[in-house]
């Protein structure tokens, strides 16, 4: 029996509509709409697409967006100064710098310079620490979207075995934390894992986030498992595929995300949710400070 297809596009549309309603209520009450500032350094084609998708999502949600386009030869200090300016700008609620950045710029310095109060990407070490310690704070967008996708498919991680393939700071490590917070027993697999197939075969939930096209095949999946494919790669014919061999695995799994139309739309939807939250928190802090 073929797997249930988890429709990330439909779920993302629901979340964005919920954000739109809350933004409308915010502006109706006389408060300004949230504002997201996105910095793009250079002309990376994929990054330009991602930034454009974020801009469109902001428009759909009633969120103000500000785009800062910097040339590829921008120095690290010039970029950090731009981030500090946005941190201090009271009209801006969320700040993110689209990754990757050119080689002359230290990515971690960029991440650490964004104010934790405006860190809607959820990458700042303080934000990550709050997540690990199970304290309130922004959740990184892709991992938070993965948890929402599982929920929408009726997959409760509580008590289940989960295999996360990939240990990046962006997806693998944080989604492992969120699965543990949801009471799953989590195995993180990576290039030094001795028997990847054995680890994924016993998992009720498989998160494929290694960034290797078509690496997860049907013989690596337990029948009925939920499979979330985070990978996105350009095929030779111009189409897209993920880390999972979809046609094969969808015949074994109980539920699976497609590529495209699975995790990607959810990442942007969760960014909108974080931006709304950042605005609400900053407005509350301002009111408290005025009293």
Residue tagged active-site, from 16, 93, 118, 121: 121
Whole-angstrom distance, CA of residue 254 vs CA of residue 204: 9
Bridge pairing between strands 233-234 and 240-241: antiparallel
Q: Which entry of 54, 118, 160, 273 is annotated as an active-site residue? A: 54
In 3D space, the residue among 253, 251, 243 whose CA is nearest the CA of residue 215 turns out to be 243
- Tell me how far apart the alpha carbons of residues 100 and 42 are, in angstroms, rounded to a whole number: 10
Among 98, 160, 173, 229, the one annotated catalytic: 98
Active site residue 288: no
Q: For residue 8, which phi and psi values (nearest 5 degrees)?
A: -70, -30
186 contacts 208 by C-beta, under 8 angstroms? no
CA distance 277 to 275: 5
Residues 80 and 110: beta-carbon distance below 8 Å: yes
Length of the chain: 291
Locate 210 and state its tokens. 């290694």
Instruction: Say if CB 216 and CB 206 are below 8 A apart.
Output: yes
121 is catalytic: yes
Torsion, CA 11, CA 94, CA 175, CA 228, rounded to 10: 30
**Hey, which residues are catalytic here?**
54, 98, 121
């Amino acid at each position: 029996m073929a797997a249930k297809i988890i429709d990330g596009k439909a779920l993302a549309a629901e979340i964005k509509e919920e954000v739109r309603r809350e933004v409308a209520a915010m502006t109706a009450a006389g408060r300004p709409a949230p504002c997201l500032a996105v910095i793009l350094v250079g002309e990376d084609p994929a990054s330009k697409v991602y930034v454009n998708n974020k801009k469109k999502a902001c428009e759909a949600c009633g969120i103000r967006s500000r785009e800062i386009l910097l040339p590829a030869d921008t120095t690290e200090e010039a970029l950090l100064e731009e981030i500090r300016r946005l941190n201090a700008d009271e009209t801006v609620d969320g700040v993110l710098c689209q990754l990757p950045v050119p080689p002359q710029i230290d990515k971690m310095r960029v991440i650490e310079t964004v104010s934790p109060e405006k860190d809607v990407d959820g990458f700042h070490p303080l934000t990550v620490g709050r997540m690990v310690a199970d304290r309130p704070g922004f959740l990184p967008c892709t991992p938070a979207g993965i948890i929402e996708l599982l929920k929408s498919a009726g997959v409760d991680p509580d008590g289940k075995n989960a295999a996360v393939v990939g240990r990046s700071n962006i997806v693998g490590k944080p989604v492992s934390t969120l699965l543990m917070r949801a009471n799953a027993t989590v195995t993180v697999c990576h290039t030094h894992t001795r028997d990847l197939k054995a680890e994924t075969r016993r998992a009720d939930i498989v998160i494929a986030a290694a960034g290797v096209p078509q690496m997860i095949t049907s013989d690596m999946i337990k029948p009925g498992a939920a499979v979330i494919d985070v990978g996105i790669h350009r095929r030779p014919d111009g189409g897209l595929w993920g880390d999972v061999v979809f046609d094969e695995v969808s015949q074994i799994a109980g539920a699976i995300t497609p590529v495209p139309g699975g995790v990607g739309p959810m990442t942007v939807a969760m960014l909108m949710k974080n931006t709304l939250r950042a605005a609400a928190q900053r407005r509350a802090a301002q009111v408290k400070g005025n009293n």
